[in-house]
Chain A
Amino acid sequence: MTNNAVPLSYIFTLILAMAARIAPLPPVLADINPDWVLLVLIYWSLATPERTGVFSAWIIGLLVDVLTGRLLGQNALIYAIVCYVVVRLHKRIRHYPIPQQSIFVFFCLLLAYLLTYWLETLQGKSALSLHFWWPVFSGALFWPVVFILLRSIRIRG
């Protein structure tokens, strides 16, 4: 693996994740569309924590803020905190079997969505419906797919 290969595949996968994040889907699918960007960030924080960590997650979060029309810093803050947790624990999590990793990812997503919920309510947004929490579950279910896909990209890249 060359030095260049990691950032390139990192950027490429994140662009795809951002596209998936805002893809126009039919209503039911749109409700369960997980935060792909965060899933990809979690993967890279697990796989290459020395190169892709808190700071790059923050920058990506800032871009996602603009992309999805949030307050600047909202997703940046959340992504940075989640990636901090992942980088902290990456040595242990990396050796877990995939289903167990899914449970860990579930709690990461739960943390992220709790923070989102809190920040959105602080801004005086009206009560969010229960649909708001579905991506936490769907994200954890999609984790094996994300993991296997990104691992093949990383190994080939």
Chain B
Amino acid sequence: MLNTRLLVVLILSVTLLVTDYKTDKLQPLRSALAYVVYPVQLLVNLPEDIYRFFNTSMMSYRKLKTENESLKRQQLINDVKLLKLAALEKENIRLRALLENSFKIGEQVLIAELLSVKLIPYEHLIIVNKGSRFGVHAKQPVLDAHGVVGQVIRALPNESEIMLITDPDHAIPVQVNRNGLRTIAIGSGRMNRLNLPFLPNNADIQPGDLLVTSGLGGVFPQGYPVAFVDKFSAQPNKPFALIHATPTAKLDKIREVLIVWSHSTPVALTDEKPAEHEQDGNDDK
């Protein structure tokens, strides 16, 4: 009796494992089960929610007022920067059109809030409260106010799982902002470090360099800050240098993230596109 049960269960498990590994046919089953376990995740998140609720509702009037003022100032500064950015963006598109290069700026984003749960100790996975019901899907880049956070690896109806860039299984194509040197940054398993294992000892990179996404690979849009290089040491006895970088995103402190819909398909530069840009240029004048 017990043996037959075990046998049935073993066969079922192996079938599920292989199907789930090779295909995505089990997505409906996973979504259905996700509804069952979602309350558990909310339960774990509850103390944090209560703490935040009281924290904000008990805040004094004066504190709120100063915060509001500083936010308004920040907003003003950002607005001015954006004004300039719009002009630069137009110029950039025009220049790239001259170079017959395709480029697109401007993405649609969705703000999602972290559930404070720790899925598995040896991986850097986080859960956010927006899922496929909001149109989130796998392989979407995730950012915060300071830089790249990671990418969606699985979207469930009410939540999605996000792999941070520091996960040992995560690699992100980057380039040095100063000189355009391209390489790959691999997660180290520690929240404050990325490794750059594929640069030779004479590479032009130094501590303090900003690494931005290079846009290769098609997942992350180009030009978002990823990390600052904080250690470069040549290893004469090895083919590659030892380089460490610190992510710019506050990976261990984030509460809210932006899920991005990037237009990963390059803009086709047919006859009509440059004409459109020409028109934009005329509008500026």
Contacts and interface: CB of A to CB of B under 8 A. Distances in A.
Q: Are both chains from one complex? A: yes
Interface of A: 15, 18-19, 22-25, 30-31, 33, 53-55, 58, 62-63, 65-74, 76-77, 80-81, 84, 87-88, 119, 123, 125-129, 131-132, 135
Interface in B1-54: 2, 5-6, 9-10, 12-17, 19-21, 26, 29-30, 33-34, 36-37, 40-41, 43-44, 48
B168 A67 contact: no
Interface string B119-135: 11110010000000000
Given A24-B117, A132-B121, 4 more contacts: A33-B121, A54-B6, A54-B9, A74-B13
Contact of A131 (B9, B43, B122): B122
A33 B117 CA distance: 13
Contact of A67 (B12, B17, B41): B41
Contact of A77 (B17, B29, B44, B156): B17
Interface residues of B, number: 41
Contact of B6 (A62, A84, A119, A129): A84
Contacts of B2: 53-54, 84, 87-88
A150 B9 CA distance: 26
Contacts, number: 116
Contacts of A69: 119-120, 125, 153-154, 161
B41 to A, nearest CB: 7
A29 B26 CA distance: 33
A119 B1 CA distance: 27
A80 B10 contact: yes
Contacts of B120: 68-70
B116 interface: yes
B72 interface: no
27 contacts: A19-B40, A22-B40, A22-B44, A22-B118, A33-B118, A54-B2, A62-B16, A66-B30, A66-B37, A67-B41, A67-B119, A68-B119, A71-B17, A72-B17, A72-B26, A73-B14, A73-B15, A76-B16, A77-B9, A77-B10, A77-B13, A77-B17, A80-B9, A81-B10, A131-B121, A132-B121, A132-B122
